[in-house]
Structure 1
Amino acid sequence: MARPPRFDIDQFLDAAVRRAAVSGPAGVTMSAVAKDAGAPSGSVYHRFPGRAALLAEVWLRTVERFQDGYLQALASQADPRRSARAATRHVVAWSRAYPQEAALLLYGPREFGRPEWSDEHRARADRGNQRVFAAVTALARELGALDPQAAERVTIALVDLPLSLVRRHLRAGEPLPAHAEDLAEQCAAALLDPPVENP
């Protein structure tokens, strides 16, 4: 029976996350990831055909893990406003729990080489984004946000606002303050309450 591989994909992706959090996407090279994982370079090439595939996988694994929790939060409550608040809290709480992954997501897929990704990787990224867009759009409708301005207000409350709070502290190299979840929720509530109505 063949011996199991000493290094698996997740070990390399974990090393890539750590490297990206410190050095940005440019620091995520095949040799750097192999060194950080304590593996020979050939082991990385055995799992990933090239650097574009490595960058795609580290980006996609990170963003998909975030999106899974975010989507769960959006569907967590019968009251859409409570779901909206839960989603804003999730952005901050996830970033607090996974600061290296959150630092990675301060970049964008283009900075992780999206133009060089395979068609399969690009399609996977698009599917994830479409799921989030559809869920936010559905929640906006439940909130009565039926015109473009009202819908944008929901997007700001659920996406832009909590991300900007996280981004400011992470880019300054600071831990998220203890009140960050509460503040994100309060700001979202201020945008969503009273009920969003058509003008």
Structure 2
Amino acid sequence: MPRPPRYDESALLDAAVRLAATGGPAAVTMSAVARESGAPNGSVYHRFPQRAALMAELWLRTVEEFQAASLPLFDAHPEPHVAAGAVARQVVAWCRAERERAVVLLYGVSAFGKAEWPEAYLRREQEGTRRVREAVAGLAERLGAATPLDIDRVSLAIAGLPLAIVRGHLHAGTPIPAHAEELAEQSATALLRGAGR
């Protein structure tokens, strides 16, 4: 039975996450990932033939983990306001549990060189974006959102507000308050109910 590789893709990406969280996307170089992971340079290039592929996989793995944690909640409760509150709460909970990955997401996809990604990565990113848009649209429809203002209000409630609660703490490296999840949930439902939805 062949021995598993000592420096697998996951370990290299974990190193890249640490570098990005502490030094920003510019700190993620092939040699820096090799040093951080303890892997030879050749192991990094074997799995990521160019930096664009490394940056794409770093972003996509992170955002897909975030989506996997939150997307199921869009339909998890028959009452759409409750579902919206659960999504908002989960955004904060994920950021608390995955601080370094959350910092990566705060930089945004363009900071990870999306313009230089190979086509396969671009298609993967587009598919993820489509899934999120469909989930938001479905929740908005259940809430009775009809206008662009209504739909933007839903996005603000389930993503914008929760991220606003944690952003400063993530950037400053300070603890996220214990009440942050509750605040995100209450803010989301209050915004949506206050609009008569």
| Equivalent-residue separation in structure 2 for 1:96 and 1:2 (angstroms) | 38
- Offset at 1:155? 1.3
Root mean square deviation, CA, Å:
1.3
Letter in 2 for 1:34: A
TM-score calculated relative to the size of structure 2 = 0.96
- Say if 1:89 and 1:182, in contact at 8 Å, map to a contact too: yes
Name 1:132's counterpart in structure 2. 132
Name 1:150's counterpart in structure 2. 150
| Equivalent-residue separation in structure 2 for 1:4 and 1:183 (angstroms) | 44
| Equivalent-residue separation in structure 2 for 1:64 and 1:75 (angstroms) | 18
TM-score calculated relative to the size of structure 1 = 0.95
SS at match of 1:45: helix
Deviations, residues 11-42 of structure 1 (Å, cap 9, x unaligned): 00011001111011000011111111111100
Name 2:32's counterpart in structure 1. 32
SS at match of 1:111: helix
- Offset at 1:184? 0.7
User: How many aligned residue pairs are there?
Assistant: 197
Name 1:95's counterpart in structure 2. 95
Deviations, residues 116-164 of structure 1 (Å, cap 9, x unaligned): 1011101111111111111011100100111222222111101111111
Ranges of 4+ aligned residues in structure 1 off by more than 6 Å: none
SS at match of 2:77: coil
Question: Does residue 12 of structure 1 match 2:29?
Answer: no
Most deviating of 1-10 and 152-161: 1-10
- Say if 2:82 and 2:189, in contact at 8 Å, map to a contact too: no
| Equivalent-residue separation in structure 2 for 1:24 and 1:12 (angstroms) | 16
Unmatched 5+ residue regions in structure 1? none
| Equivalent-residue separation in structure 1 for 2:171 and 2:2 (angstroms) | 46
